[in-house]
């Protein structure tokens, strides 16, 4: 059996806050085409691990490969170039921009090139701008937000904003997407839509996902593999069926969630 390529390969990642290892020598992998669930009680270190994988935080120890390339010391903005993005709540100042403009802003940053083109090759610039708008509209249509492209982002519901975040991830062209509690505070019918969309982006567009989520139903439906964290360490991993029978997992998390 040939193993699928590793999209994320983290070894011994550690982050300390005030002497406490909030993420304690965690090793984590995601293979091409997987949807990996990351669960555990509040304060387990899940979001901090995401911050280390996306280089929003510097690790105190450990190594990180993204798509086989050493990202251990990369700046956060370089991670999208390597193929990894994460959803972020839309910044307040982007609320006034339209839905389409928000997606356009997520295009891979090549400002220097665009400035050169605008000055020296205006016709080519218009052509590439046109192509970018086409691409942004395609991303909006995939997430079913096409009819809303001209609205200010502020006019979207909470759930629609999550869909917009996913459209921005698509526009970046990255093949690895980290989702931190994307179903939190979203109306139930939109949770269904988001779950279906993530499954479709995985199946039809080959995107690899890592999903932090407290909604155990969402995790069991989406994830081929689940990693359980508690107190900064990985305490179990495997299929949802396997981890949900694990006595440690039940004691530290699922027992309380049920
Ligand atoms: N910037 C920070 N400074 C100090 N402590 C932090 C910081 N970020 C997170 N922590 C602490 O690290 C622990 C893990 O937090 P977090 O990664 O957000 O957990 P989770 O996402 O699993 O709920 C918590 O105890 C939290 O208080
Ligand atoms: Mg968190």
Distance between CA atoms of residues 44 and 46, nearest Å: 6
The Cα 83–Cα 67 span in angstroms is 7
The tokens describing 119, both together, are 């000055």
Domains detected in the chain: 1-83+174-258 (3.40.50.300), 90-172 (no CATH)
How many residues are there in the chain?
Answer: 258
Task: Say yes or no: CB of residue 15 within 6 Å of ligand 1.
Answer: no
- DSSP bridge partners of 152: 98
What pLDDT does 118 receive? 65
Q: What's the confidence (pLDDT) of residue 256? A: 65
Ligand 1 contacts CB of residue 223 (under 6 A)? no
Give, using CA atoms, the residue closest to atom 3 of ligand 1: 17
Q: How far, in whole angstroms, is CA 54 from its chain's centroid?
A: 9
User: Ligand 1 centre from 244 Cα, in Å?
Assistant: 25
Q: Distance between CA 1 and CA 25 in Å, rounded?
A: 29
Residue among 235, 15, 27 nearest 243 (CA): 235
Prediction pTM value: 0.91
DSSP string computed for 90-105? PPGGGTTSBHHHHHHT
pLDDT value for 258:
46
Q: What is the pLDDT of residue 87?
A: 85
| Cα 91 → chain centroid | 16
The answer for residues whose C-beta is within 8 angstroms of residue 105's C-beta and 6 or more apart is 94, 97, 168
pLDDT in tens, the chain (258 residues): 567 899 999 999 999 999 999 999 999 999 999 999 999 999 999 999 999 999 999 999 999 999 999 999 999 989 999 999 998 766 676 888 999 999 999 886 545 455 566 667 677 667 678 899 999 999 999 999 999 999 999 999 989 999 999 999 999 999 999 999 988 888 888 999 999 999 999 999 999 999 999 999 999 999 999 999 999 999 999 999 999 999 999 998 887 654
CB of 45 within 6 A of ligand 1: the answer is: yes
| Ligand 1 neighbour 232 (Cβ under 6 A) | no
């Amino acid at each position: 059996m040939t193993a699928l390529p590793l999209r994320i390969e983290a070894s011994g990642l550690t982050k300390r806050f005030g002497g406490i290892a909030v993420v304690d020598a965690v090793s984590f992998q995601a293979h091409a085409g997987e949807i990996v669930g990351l669960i555990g009680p509040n304060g387990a270190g899940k979001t901090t691990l995401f911050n280390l994988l996306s280089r929003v935080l510097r690790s105190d120890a450990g190594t990180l490969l993204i798509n086989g390339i050493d990202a251990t010391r990369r700046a956060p903005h370089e991670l999208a170039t390597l193929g990894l993005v994460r959803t972020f709540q839309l910044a307040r100042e982007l609320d006034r921009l339209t839905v389409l403009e928000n997606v356009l802003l997520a295009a891979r940053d090549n400002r220097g090139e665009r400035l050169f083109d605008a000055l020296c090759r205006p016709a080519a610039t218009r052509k590439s701008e046109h192509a970018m708008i086409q691409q942004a509209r395609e991303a909006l249509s995939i997430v079913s937000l096409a009819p809303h492209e001209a609205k200010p982002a502020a006019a979207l519901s909470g759930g629609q904003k999550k869909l917009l975040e996913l459209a921005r991830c698509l526009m970046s062209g990255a093949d690895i997407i980290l989702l931190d509690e994307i179903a939190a505070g979203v109306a139930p019918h939109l949770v269904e839509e988001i779950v279906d969309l993530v499954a479709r982006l995985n199946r039809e567009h080959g995107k690899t996902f890592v999903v932090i989520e407290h909604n155990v139903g969402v995790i069991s439906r989406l994830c081929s593999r689940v990693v359980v964290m508690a107190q900064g360490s990985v305490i179990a991993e495997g299929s949802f069926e396997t981890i949900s029978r694990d006595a440690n997992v039940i004691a530290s998390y699922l027992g309380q969630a049920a």
